[in-house]
Amino acid sequence: MSNNGKRYSDTFKEQIVALIKHGKSAKDVALEYQIARSTVNKWYKDYTSTGSFKAKDNEAPDERELKKLRKELALAKMEIDILKQAALIMGRK
């Protein structure tokens, strides 16, 4: 019953969410379409909260800020390493 790695279109996901909104249980929809119930529940939760299925749109603001800060930190570390190498090269001359 597992569809590992299977991708579904946003249109299909919207249809699944619409079925749940119109009173069909997530369990029944999952069984009928042979999709994991947790997947159906996630689609419903994501779509009703943000109107999108994309992970980026469903991140919490804290998660977005954390990713941004990690990127900045990695860039700063890279710049420091470059400056250290430059200092070593300049010191040899």
Residue 49: name the closest of 37, 60, 33 by CA. Answer: 60
DSSP letter, residue 34: T
pLDDT digits (tens, 9 = 90+) for 66-83: 989 999 999 999 999 999
Model confidence at 54: pLDDT above 60: yes
Tokens of 10: 């946003």
Q: Is 22 helix (H, G, I), strand (E, B) or coil?
A: coil
The rounded distance, in Å, linking the Cα atoms of 55 and 87 is 42
Overall size of the chain counted in residues: 93
Please state the rounded mean pLDDT for residues 11-21: 90
pLDDT of residue 53: 67
Quick one: average pLDDT of 35-59?
A: 79
Confidence check: pLDDT of 84 > 90: yes
Q: What angle do CA 30, 32, 53 make, to 5 degrees?
A: 40
Per-residue pLDDT at 70? 95
